[in-house]
């Protein structure tokens, strides 16, 4: 019976778009989470909403699980087909259908690479702020499903703030359009907000209407080096108390800096124990004064070196250095176990102290960087041996648990922007009480009563 579904899909879409041979299928069975490979029957490369409808209709009729997949850059295993079945890939749905300069919006297919949209709108003097560090490789459908953020979220907010409307297909093949093209609108429940961040468990997004902004006329970037991360944490508070609202406030700790030495374009000063990248935008006349106030706040917190990017190339080098943090840690260690937690901004210094203590107690190497302006820290446990050494694996598990406990103790949240997926399911009940878990299970049933769309995700 199941074979018939795949044959039917092959007949409708052409056999080259219904991938079943092992070699071609392989890349659809993994993602960037490092959680390994999960087998599936096939990957279907859809090119239109009608094809998504067909896949979801047949899958429901035959009770087959479907895992939506964008570009596979997810860090928590959201796109892994844990129950097998069909991987539904939107990587061929890459049309930017509309960029409306009057109404400041773009209409896109879900497979558009985020950086491609950013470049296309900037070429027209417009601005799409959400800028995940993976923007060169992740897709807007994945960004919507994960409610992706990035450095610019501090001033401009995350993906949720930009999704005006969605065309979605539910499990079973029914198309539901929701939202609007206008900046305001409160008709009915905010179903768009429910889909954003639902990790592909409610519906497949087939078209996304995104709010745009005018492109800021000027940008200025500053890198401040500090003796330690606590001083950098103090500078974050100082900048905000000075009344400044940079568009990005990014933190790199000593271990991250040491890993990046000689492997990224920016050369950190010897002995730098932490760094902050501060980026401002706005009218060119006011930028210099703002920059000076941020620099003064960094100096007051103990900065040992300040560098203002003097041209576009230096700016790009600073950001390239920041973006290399994740791939460099990954390249240099056998296992990089990422945590993506958020604490109230004022609790960053205390959180960093606790992370150091946990890492020392469990003898695990650790490197932290992240969006300090939002209190969003990417804490990476770095391990050089394979899993299997029981005592070692228990120490890693205790370190992970300790980081989540510290986060919740400081009134933070366990997932900042990478979602829960598979990786963090165990911790969801640590943060959310049973009535909220039960309500969310009922929401899932309303969208997908048979639990066939991306099953086995988010909730344990």
Region of 66-74, 174-182, 255-263, 301-309 interacting with ligand FAD (CB under 6 A): 66-74
Tell me the window of 130-138, 181-189, 357-365, 430-438 that interacts with ligand FAD (CB under 6 A). 130-138
Write the interaction track for ligand FAD spanning residues 138-157; mark x where CB under 6 A is met and - where it is not.
Answer: xx-xxx-xx-xxx-------
Binding of residue 117 to ligand FAD (CB under 6 A): no
* Nearer to ligand FAD among residue 169 and residue 295 (C-beta): 169
- Asked whether position 209 contacts ligand FAD by CB under 6 A, the answer is no
> Is the Cβ of residue 82 or residue 230 nearer to ligand FAD in the bound state?
82
Residue of minimal CB distance from ligand FAD? 142
The three-state DSSP-derived secondary structure of the chain is CHHHHHHHHHHHHCHHHEECCHHHHHHHCCCCCCCCCCCCCEEEECCCHHHHHHHHHHHHHCCCCEEEECCCCCCCCCCCCCCCCEEEECCCCCCEEEEECCCCEEEECCCCEHHHHHHHHHCCCEECCCCCCCCCCCEHHHHHHHCCCCCCHHHHCCHHHHEEEEEEECCCCCEEEEECCCCCCCCCCCHHHHHCCCCCCCCEEEEEEEECEECCCEEEEEEEEECCHHHHHHHHHHHHHCCCCCCEEEEEEHHHHHHHCCCCCCCCCCCCCEEEEEEEEECHHHHHHHHHHHHHHHHHCCCCEEEECCCHHHHHHHHHHHHCHHHHHHHHCCEEEEEEEECCHHHHHHHHHHHHHHHHHHCCEEEEEEEHHHCEEEEEEEECCCCCCHHHHHHHHHHHHHHHHHHHHCCCECCCCCCCCCCCHHHHHHHCCHHHHHHHHHHHHHHCCCCCECCCCCCC
68 lines the binding site for ligand FAD (CB under 6 A): yes
Q: Does position 200 bind ligand FAD by CB under 6 A?
A: yes
**Residue 134 vs 407, nearer CB to ligand FAD:** 134
Binding-site size for ligand FAD (CB under 6 A) equals 37
Q: Using the rule CB under 6 A, which residue among 65, 74, 338, 375 binds ligand FAD?
A: 74
Q: How far is the CB of 453 from ligand FAD (least distance, A)?
A: 9
Answer yes or no whether residue 197 interacts with ligand FAD by CB under 6 A: no
452 contributes a contact to ligand FAD by CB under 6 A: no
Instruction: Tell whether residue 32 is a contact of ligand FAD (CB under 6 A).
Output: yes
Interaction between residue 374 and ligand FAD (CB under 6 A): no
Nearer to ligand FAD, 67 or 290 (CB): 67
110 contributes a contact to ligand FAD by CB under 6 A: yes
Contact pick of 133, 249, 348, 423 for ligand FAD (by CB under 6 A): 133
Nearer to ligand FAD among residue 72 and residue 402 (C-beta): 72
Comparison of 80 and 303: residue with beta carbon closer to ligand FAD: 80
Please report whether residue 322 would count as binding ligand FAD according to CB under 6 A: no
* Residue 179 found at the interface with ligand FAD (CB under 6 A): no
Q: Does 375 bind ligand FAD (CB under 6 A)?
A: no
User: Which lies closer to ligand FAD via its Cβ, residue 132 or residue 165?
Assistant: 132
State which residue, 32 or 362, has the beta carbon closest to ligand FAD: 32
Identity of the residue, 297 or 423, whose beta carbon is nearer to ligand FAD in the bound complex: 423
Which residues of the chain form contacts with ligand FAD (CB under 6 A)? 31-32, 67-75, 78-79, 90, 110, 132-134, 138-139, 141-143, 145-146, 148-150, 199-200, 204-205, 326-327, 417-418, 454
């Amino acid at each position: 019976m199941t074979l018939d579904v795949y044959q039917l899909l092959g007949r409708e879409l052409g056999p080259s778009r219904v991938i079943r041979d092992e070699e071609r299928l392989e890349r659809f069975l993994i993602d960037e989470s490092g959680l390994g490979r999960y087998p599936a029957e096939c990957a279907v490369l859809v090119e239109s909403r009608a094809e998504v409808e067909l896949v979801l209709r047949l899958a429901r009729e035959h009770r087959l699980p479907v895992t939506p997949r964008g570009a596979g850059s997810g860090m928590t295993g959201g796109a892994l087909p844990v129950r097998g079945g069909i991987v539904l890939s939107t990587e061929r749905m890459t049309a930017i259908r509309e960029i409306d300069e009057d109404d400041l919006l773009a209409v896109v297919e879900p497979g558009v690479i985020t950086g491609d949209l950013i470049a296309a709108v900037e070429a027209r003097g417009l601005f799409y702020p959400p800028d995940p560090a993976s923007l060169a490789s992740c897709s807007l459908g994945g960004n919507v499903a994960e409610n992706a953020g990035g450095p610019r979220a501090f001033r401009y907010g995350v993906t949720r703030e930009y999704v005006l409307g969605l065309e979605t297909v539910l499990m079973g093949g029914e198309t539901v359009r929701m939202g609007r093209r206008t900046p305001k609108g409160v008709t009915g429940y905010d179903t768009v907000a429910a889909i954003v961040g639902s990790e592909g468990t409610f519906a497949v997004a087939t078209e996304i209407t995104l709010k745009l902004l005018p492109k800021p006329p000027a940008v200025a970037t500053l890198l401040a080096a500090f003796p330690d991360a606590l001083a950098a944490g103090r500078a974050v508070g100082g900048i905000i108390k000075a009344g400044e609202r940079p568009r990005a406030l990014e933190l790199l700790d000593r271990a991250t800096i040491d890993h990046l030495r000689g492997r990224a374009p920016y050369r950190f000063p010897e002995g730098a124990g932490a760094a902050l990248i501060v980026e401002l935008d706005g009218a060119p006349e006011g930028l210099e004064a703002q920059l000076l106030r941020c620099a003064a706040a960094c100096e007051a917190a103990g900065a040992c070196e300040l560098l203002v990017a003097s041209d576009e190339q230096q700016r790009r080098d600073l950001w390239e250095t920041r973006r290399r943090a994740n791939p460099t840690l990954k390249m240099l260690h056998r296992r990089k176990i990422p945590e993506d937690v958020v604490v109230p901004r004022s609790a960053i210094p205390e959180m960093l102290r606790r992370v150091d203590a946990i890492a020392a107690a469990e003898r695990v190497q650790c490197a932290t960087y992240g969006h300090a302006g939002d209190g969003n820290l990417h804490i990476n446990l770095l391990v050089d041996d394979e899993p299997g050494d029981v005592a070692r694996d228990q120490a890693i598990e205790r370190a992970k648990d300790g980081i989540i406990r510290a986060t919740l103790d400081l009134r933070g949240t366990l997932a900042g922007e990478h979602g829960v997926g598979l990786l963090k399911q165990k911790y969801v009940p640590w943060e959310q009480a049973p009535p909220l878990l039960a309500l969310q299970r009922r929401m899932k049933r309303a969208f997908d009563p048979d639990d066939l769309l991306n099953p086995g995700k988010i909730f344990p």
